[in-house]
């Protein structure tokens, strides 16, 4: 029995030892697995972090590596799995990654860049392949651009994409084309919500006009960015003339080489008694960077004398003091001016003497009457000069009846021929007036229709006569002679159109958009009015009665309005400011239940849109729009079988045409 117990105890101990060893081995294996898992997870996570992949969660399970998360795309998922496979055996990787579902491809941002130079037009950009009802196609845009510069090559680098365009794309593209028509040197970038224009104008006045026109016709919902520059004119000679006499202080001509110089000169003139807002042209050609300094000193000298004039022709300065100025005052002012003028400038000064009674002073006169007749009288040196003066007058006053009634005098002072010819050249700048040439002065008097005439005459006389020679310019501006100021207003033109249409209707065959032959005379009359009118925005609206389907009436009214637009274009009317709109049966003005009412509803309306704010001044209580309604016989409106495909489709265009700016600063520049 004891032996049996001993055997059982030995067996139990062996079994317990075996079990203990097994538990120990399992513990060691588990600990090793934990170490492997932790190390693998850290290595893989560190590598992914280094690669800036933060959308994967790594979990190590024994020898296996589980990857979970959502990849932005399939390429990113493939790259991440390959990266982990470079660290652990690919058989140990359990790929649980998802991929973000592919979203619908967005339409591209359509844009067109139009570049216009002397060599032609370039079109670059991306357009919708199917532009829609209100937008131009790529072919239509290229054709319209090519018509702007006939005889030059059009570079068409446009591409198309089959995506829908934004609702404002058509309006923005049409506006860009209208801007390209106005701007001969420009770059126009068109997007659906933005049009950027960079251009060069010929003058500051043209720059202001273009900016006003473009802002007036910019479509709603489209931002306009304008950058129009005006190069400074080259002024030769660089001229300025400031006078104080019985009429007050004024400029006959004013030139400056910078904005700062202009401000300094005008401030000095204002301090000398100049009133109003004078014109002072900023240009190129100044003889010295100290031009403004010299002019300011001279203006102050004139103001101190009280009755004098100063003329700058490049660096030549001529100061003429009136006969009422005392010799002592004259000597003081001239001495200070000579000392203060910069080195580049040369001063010639003269004090007029009180005129003594003389008989028969040597003089030459020329007159230009309102009917264009030119009379030359007075003294010339010899027969050669008489022939030269007559020929010069016939050339300067082209088409005028020139009468030469001069006498010869060999005792005339030196330089007399130059003074006569310079005076005639200056006189040719006015509409009508007179010239007086004497030994001590040249005086031009007249009436003009341009605010720039006084400056041109001053420039001619100062350049031709030279330093030290005196002259007078007495020019009056008359607005009635200004062709730009005398243009009829858009309202007056609209009223003329109304009178014509009220008298004679525009007719169409039944269910047709073709204008009847009997309506051609009224279209000719309308064209004659519109060709002579200033630019304006005009809407041509087509209206029908209520017979037929609503959609058919809409299509027919649109086609007929466009037919009127095209007919005006064919008669050399600029239709870029006009829009054809079909209203169908939506706006009746009479009862559609009667034949007379239906006849009244079949009409064309000319609606004068808003007047350009930069040009036409209106009182606060003035109406914002003027509507001109004219009936047109749209006989026998559509029936049930009408198809819109039978009428031509003409894309309507829109443009604001504006009258030229009316003159400003009349009192300041042309005081009597």
pLDDT in tens, 194-204: 999 999 888 77
CA 497, CA 500: separation in Å to the nearest integer? 5
- Domains present along the chain, CATH in parentheses: 2-99 (3.30.300), 111-229 (3.40.1520.20), 239-351 (3.40.1520), 363-481 (3.40.1520.20), 490-646 (3.30.1330.60)
Alpha helices in 341-480 (DSSP H): 383-396, 416-427, 453-465
Assign 241 a pLDDT band (cuts: 50, 70, 90).
very high
Bridge partners, 350 (sequence order): 320
Ranges 63-67, 90-94, 478-482, 571-575: which has the least confidence: 478-482
Ranges 82-86, 391-395, 423-427, 588-592: which has the least confidence: 82-86
Tokens 């998802």, located at residue: 98
What does the pLDDT read at residue 658?
Answer: 36
Assign 467 a pLDDT band (cuts: 50, 70, 90).
confident
What does the pLDDT read at residue 610?
Answer: 61
Percent of residues, the chain, with pLDDT higher than 70? 82
**Token pair belonging to 405:** 């009634």
What does the pLDDT read at residue 106?
Answer: 63
pLDDT digit string (tens) for 293-335? 999 999 999 999 999 999 999 999 999 999 889 988 998 899 8
Question: What mean pLDDT, rounded, does the chain reach?
Answer: 80
Helices (H) and strands (E) in the chain, counts: 16, 26
Residue from 398, 401, 396 nearest 371 by CA: 401
641 or 459, higher pLDDT: 459
CA 225, CA 517: separation in Å to the nearest integer? 46
Helix, strand, coil tally for the chain in percent (to 5): 40, 25, 35
What does the pLDDT read at residue 372?
Answer: 84
What does the pLDDT read at residue 133?
Answer: 58
Helices 138-148, 169-182: inter-axial angle, 10-degree rounding: 10
Q: What is the mean pLDDT of residues 501-507?
A: 80
Pairing of strands 255-256, 248-253: unpaired
Three-class SS state of 596: helix
Burial of 323 (0-12, 13-18, 19+ CB in 10 A): exposed
Contacts of 577 (CB under 8 A, 6+ apart): 217, 535, 536, 537, 538, 654, 655, 656, 657
pLDDT digit string (tens) for 644-670? 333 333 333 333 333 334 344 333 333
254 or 626, higher pLDDT: 254
Assign 286 a pLDDT band (cuts: 50, 70, 90).
confident
Residue from 451, 595, 612 nearest 537 by CA: 612
pLDDT digit string (tens) for 11-67? 776 676 677 766 667 565 556 566 667 777 788 888 888 888 888 888 887 778 888
pLDDT digit string (tens) for 82-94? 888 887 777 788 8
Q: What is the mean pLDDT of residues 156-163?
A: 88
Tokens 């007056």, located at residue: 492
For residue 628, pLDDT over 80 is answered with no
The answer to whether 253 and 303 have CB atoms below 8 angstroms apart is no
Bridge partners, 160 (sequence order): 127
Tokens 């021929």, located at residue: 417
What does the pLDDT read at residue 662?
Answer: 39
pLDDT digit string (tens) for 576-626? 788 899 999 898 988 888 888 888 888 888 888 864 443 333 333 333 333
Percent of residues, the chain, with pLDDT higher than 90? 25
For residue 536, pLDDT over 60 is answered with yes
CA 187, CA 111: separation in Å to the nearest integer? 13
Assign 486 a pLDDT band (cuts: 50, 70, 90).
low
Q: What is the mean pLDDT of residues 203-209?
A: 80
Residue from 654, 667, 665 nearest 176 by CA: 654
Assign 272 a pLDDT band (cuts: 50, 70, 90).
very high
628 or 473, higher pLDDT: 473
For residue 636, pLDDT over 50 is answered with no
The answer to whether 361 and 376 have CB atoms below 8 angstroms apart is no
């Amino acid at each position: 029995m004891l032996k049996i117990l001993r055997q059982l105890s030995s067996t139990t101990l062996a079994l317990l030892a075996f079990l203990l060893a097994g538990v120990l081995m399992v513990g060691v294996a588990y600990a090793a697995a934990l170490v492997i898992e932790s190390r693998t997870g850290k290595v893989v996570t560190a590598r992914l972090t280094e690669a800036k992949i933060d959308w994967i969660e790594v979990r190590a399970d024994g020898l296996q590596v589980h990857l979970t998360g959502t990849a932005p795309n399939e390429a990113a998922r493939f790259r991440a799995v390959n990266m982990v496979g470079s660290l652990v055996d690919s058989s140990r990787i359990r790929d649980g990654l998802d991929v973000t579902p592919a979203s619908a491809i967005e339409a591209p941002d359509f844009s067109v860049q139009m570049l216009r130079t002397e060599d032609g037009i370039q079109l670059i950009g991306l357009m919708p392949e199917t532009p829609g009802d209100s937008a131009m196609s790529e072919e239509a845009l290229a054709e319209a651009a090519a018509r702007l510069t006939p005889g030059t090559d059009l570079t068409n680098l446009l591409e198309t994409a089959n995506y829908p365009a934004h609702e404002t794309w058509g309006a923005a593209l049409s506006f860009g084309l209208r801007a390209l028509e106005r701007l001969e040197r420009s770059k126009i970038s068109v997007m659906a919500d933005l049009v950027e224009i960079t251009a060069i104008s010929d003058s500051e006045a043209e720059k202001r006009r273009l900016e006003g026109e473009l802002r007036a016709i910019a479509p709603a919902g489209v931002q306009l960015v304008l950058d129009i520059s005006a190069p400074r004119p080259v002024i030769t000679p660089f001229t300025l003339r400031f006078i104080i006499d019985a009429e007050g202080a004024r400029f006959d001509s004013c030139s400056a080489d910078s904005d700062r110089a202009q401000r300094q000169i005008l401030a000095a003139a204002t301090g000398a008694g100049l009133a109003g807002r004078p014109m002072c042209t900023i240009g190129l050609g100044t003889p010295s960077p100290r031009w403004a300094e010299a002019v300011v000193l001279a203006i102050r000298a004139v103001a101190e004398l009280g009755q004098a004039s100063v003329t700058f022709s490049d660096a030549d300065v001529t100061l003429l003091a009136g006969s009422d100025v005392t010799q002592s005052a004259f000597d003081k002012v001239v001495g200070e001016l000579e000392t203060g003028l910069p080195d580049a400038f040369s001063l010639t000064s003269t004090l007029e003497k009180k005129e003594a009674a003389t008989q028969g002073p040597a003089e030459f006169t020329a007159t230009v009457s309102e009917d264009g007749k030119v009379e030359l009288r007075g003294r010339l040196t010899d027969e050669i000069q008489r022939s030269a003066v007559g020929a010069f007058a016939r050339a300067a006053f082209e088409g005028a009846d020139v009468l030469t009634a001069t006498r010869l005098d060999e005792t005339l002072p030196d330089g007399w021929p130059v003074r006569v010819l310079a005076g005639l050249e200056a006189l040719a700048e006015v509409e009508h007036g007179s010239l007086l040439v004497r030994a001590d002065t040249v005086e031009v008097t007249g009436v003009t229709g341009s605010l720039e005439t006084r400056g041109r005459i001053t420039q001619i006389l100062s350049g031709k006569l030279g330093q030290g020679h005196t002259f007078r310019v007495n020019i009056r501006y008359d607005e009635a002679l200004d062709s730009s100021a005398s243009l009829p207003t858009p309202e007056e033109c609209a009223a003329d159109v109304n009178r014509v249409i009220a008298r004679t209707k525009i007719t169409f065959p039944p269910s047709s958009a073709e204008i009847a032959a009997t309506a051609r005379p009224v279209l000719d009359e309308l064209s004659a009015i519109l060709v002579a009118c200033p630019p304006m925005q005009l809407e041509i609206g087509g209206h029908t009665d209520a017979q037929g389907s609503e959609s058919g009436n809409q299509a027919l009214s649109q086609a007929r309005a466009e037919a009127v637009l095209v007919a005006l274009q064919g008669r050399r009317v600029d239709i870029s400011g006009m829009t054809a709109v079909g209203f169908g049966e939506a706006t009746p003005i009479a009862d559609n239940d009667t034949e007379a009412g239906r006849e009244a509803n079949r009409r064309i309306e000319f609606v004068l849109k808003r007047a350009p704010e930069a040009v036409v001044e209106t009182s606060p209580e003035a109406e914002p729009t003027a509507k001109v309604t004219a009936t047109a016989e749209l006989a026998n409106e559509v029936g049930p079988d009408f198809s819109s495909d039978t009428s031509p489709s003409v894309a309507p265009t829109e443009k604001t045409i504006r009258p030229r700016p009316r003159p400003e600063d009349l009192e300041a520049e042309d005081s009597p």
